[in-house]
Amino acid sequence: MPMVLFGMALAILIAAAGWTRAWSRRTESAHLCLAWQSRLLAESATACALQDAMARQVPAAVDSTARDTTAKRRSTSVQDTADSACGFLGPAPGTMSWEPPAGTQLLSVHARGSVLESGRPLVVELRSIWGGAPPPDPFSPALSLWDRNAGVPRLTGKVRGEVRLRADSAVPSGFVAQPSGGISEFVPSSLGSDTAAALDRMAVAFRSEDAHLGGARFSPSDPPPDQDSLVYTIGDVVFDGPWTGDAWVPGGSRTLFVEGRVEFRGRMALDGWRIYAAGPVVVQDEATLLSMDIFSEGGVQVSDKASVSGQILSKGALVVSGDASLAAPSFAAVWPGKGADSIPRIAVRDRATAQAYLVALGGRAEIRLGAGADFRGVAVSGGLLRVDGTLRGVGVAGRVDCGQPGSNCSDGNFDRPDLPAGFAFPLGLQGNLGLRLVSWETSR
């Protein structure tokens, strides 16, 4: 009898264990399925965000930086709206959402998909960065010089790759004639309207009820409020990270509107923030700002050991100095401001490094790459391009007075190797061959 009872107890135990296992297996299986569905929803939201951003392109004005006025160009208008008919044919298993992209050069898409699991939402977030796939030809030479009226450039440095020269008569020996077109082929057509949209967003934000009068100073002990959008008028905003120890991470991506100066210093790390500043944006010490969208009306400075990547649109100057870096993927454009900012400038100097697509707009624009600086990518200047070190990639300049003291080219070396893998071209270039996925990140 005891043996029978023991056997029965054992059988019950085995059955209970099997039941529990089967139950947990079913739960696990259902969770995997829901996680997959929320991921598909997030991917669907990404497709819709791309659609929204690209659908905002409308024919517009001719860019003033185009020296060749015969080259008619399109511009892009970005409206701050999320209305979209994008959606599923039938009922969706959950919800999808996305943030309206801030700009259209390097398109940074934040999308999420959500399904309910036991009454609680299971959320998958996707962050992706999209660039353009440019036509090969304009970007094949090491150096393109577009000044119709200049003499023969004197390139005293080393050049590896073709040098194209625009000339009314036959081009001198050692140069290749530019095909028809203009320097505008290297300038994203949507730049003007991107900046107009940024100004509109700032104006709306500063008038909103959410705006805080005066600036703010944030630190690990006094972090920024946990809000998607932070607005500060008439004042500066400073993010003060620690000088030693672990870097301060102020949290998930936010949009920051500041009517004054914005400063990031100490050890800190931001990822995916959008910053609109009426004053200068200063990034210094060991601050690391990745996948950023920065719009500034007062210039951008990156110095010390700071690092920035993403999209930078600024009036005036962008200066990367010290041991700082402009990391990939990055796109930066500057245009003329007023007063001291009337000459748009981009400088990479000291021991700074940059892997980016740089554009300085206007006939008086300057791009200067210092002797100790390491630059890889594409540098497009409507005016002067002075290279004291080495430009690895493509140089484009509106003036060809190379070899003259203080002018472009100087003793610089131009090297046209393959651009780095994953190099990001802006989406707004004319003749792009399509979209290119630059980075893709999933988090849950």
Partner 1 sequence: MKRGYTLVEVLMALVILAVLAVPLGYVLETTGKGSARARLQDQALAVAQEAWSVSRATDPDSLRDTVWDRDISGARWRISRDVFDSADRSAAGLPPIRAAAALQPPVEISVCALRAGGDDDWDTVRCFRWLRPRTRILP
Cβ neighbour number for residue 200 with a 10 Å cutoff: 13
Closer Cβ to partner 1, 56 or 267, answer by number: 56
E strands along 186-339, which residues? 212-213, 216-218, 229-233, 237-240, 255-258, 262-265, 267-271, 274-277, 281-283, 286-296, 300-302, 307-315, 317-320, 325-335
Output the smallest distance, CB 117 to partner 1, in A.
15
Neighbours of 325 (CB within 10 A): 23
Do 392 and 417 contact (CB within 8 A), yes or no?
yes
When the beta carbons of 44 and 296 are compared against partner 1, the nearer one is 44
Query: Measured from the CB atom, is 6 or 243 closer to partner 1?
Result: 6
Which tokens sit at 250?
A: 């102020």
Give the list of residues 6+ apart from residue 150 with CB closer than 8 angstroms, or none.
399, 400, 401
Min dist. Cβ of residue 419 to partner 1 (A): 14
CB of 47 to partner 1, least distance (A): 4
Distance of CA 238 to the CA centre of its chain: 22
Minimum distance, C-beta of residue 45 to partner 1, in the bound complex (Å):
8
Contacts of 24 (CB under 8 A, 6+ apart): none
Q: Could you write out the DSSP letters of every residue in 21-87?
A: HHHHHHHHHHHHHHHHHHHHHHHHHHHHHHHHHHHTB---PPPTT-S-TT-----B-----------
Collapse the DSSP code of 247 into the 3-class scheme (helix H, G, I; strand E, B; otherwise coil) and give the result: coil
Answer for the pair 50, 438: CB distance below 8 angstroms, yes or no. no
Shortest distance, CB of residue 39 to partner 1, whole angstroms? 9
Least distance between partner 1 and beta carbon 18 (Å): 4
Write down the residue that tokens 């309206």 correspond to: 100
Give 28 or 200: the residue with its C-beta nearer to partner 1.
28
Residue (170 or 421) nearer to partner 1, CB: 421
- Looking at the Cβ atoms of 4 and 213, the one nearer to partner 1 is 4
Output 58 or 204, the one with its CB closest to partner 1.
58
Q: Taking the chain, what is the end-to-end CA distance rounded to the nearest angstrom?
A: 55
| 316 vs 329, beta carbon nearer partner 1 | 329
Q: How far is the CB of 40 from partner 1 (least distance, A)?
A: 4
Instruction: State which residue, 177 or 433, has the beta carbon closest to partner 1.
Output: 433
CB of 63 to partner 1, least distance (A): 17
Between CA 326 and CA 28 the distance in angstroms is 44
CB of 54 to partner 1, least distance (A): 4
**What is d(CA 313, CA 102) in angstroms, rounded to the nearest whole number?**
11
> From the CB of 250, what's the least distance to partner 1, in Å?
32
SS3 of the chain: helix, strand, coil, percent, to 5: 20, 35, 45
Whichever of 44 and 291 has its CB closer to partner 1, that residue is 44
Cα distance between residue 214 and residue 216, in whole Å: 7
Contact status, residue 135 vs residue 151, Cβ threshold 8 Å: no
> CA torsion 93→95→96→99, rounded to 10°?
180
In the complex, which residues of this chain contact partner 1 (CB under 8 A)? 1, 4-5, 8, 11-12, 15-16, 18-19, 21-23, 25-26, 28-30, 32-33, 36-37, 40-41, 43-44, 47-48, 50-52, 54-58, 84-90, 92-93, 133, 432-437
Which DSSP state fits 321?
-
Q: Which is nearer to partner 1, 13 or 176 (CB)?
A: 13
Check if the beta carbon of residue 205 is closer than 8 Å to that of residue 185: no
Shortest spacing between CB 377 and partner 1, in angstroms: 18
